[in-house]
Amino acid sequence: MTIGVGDKVPEVRVKRTDMKDVTTSELFTGKKVVIFAVPGAFTPTCSAKHLPGFVEKADAIRSKGVDEIICTSVNDAFVMDAWGKDRGVGDKVTLIADGNGDLAKALGLDFSGAEIGFGIRSQRYAAIIDDGVVTHLAIEKPMAFEVSSAEAILKAL
């Protein structure tokens, strides 16, 4: 079942880009967080539009009371680290590796990209999490990039 507005984010362990474990409780408790997921680091829309939009709009998003902006993908920590460096993310967005897809599965936002050799991936989405509870969720239709952009999140805030 897909997580929805009003639901608490389930407890899952993921990785920071330095390979240290972090739980969803540690990421979301006591904070207002914007999280967005991409199907894959270094993929066209993710690299050219989705991540750069949040990097560009980070200050405007934080000015709305957001403590942290998180990007997650079903990639390992080394790939997420390299992608962040390649895209010049700095400290604007926290990159989180969901290497096994545990977070995507727990949220009910995973899909199979096996037919094109991608394995399990996360759907493209953006959410606002306030103290561990979803207050806004925008899930993209397959192959779309409309409702989960930084601009859309700014409007939702």
Q: Is 84 helix (H, G, I), strand (E, B) or coil?
A: helix
DSSP class of residue 106 equals: H
The rounded distance, in Å, linking the Cα atoms of 28 and 53 is 22
99 in Cβ contact with 74 (< 8 Å): yes
46 is catalytic: yes
12 in Cβ contact with 25 (< 8 Å): no
3-state helix, strand, coil in the chain (%, to 5): 30, 30, 40
* Alpha-carbon separation of residue 60 from 54, 55, 132 (angstroms): 10, 10, 22
Structure tokens at 145: 């990039």
Residue 72, strand partner residues: 37, 96
Q: Pick the catalytic residue: 37, 46, 55, 109? A: 46
Catalytic residues: 46
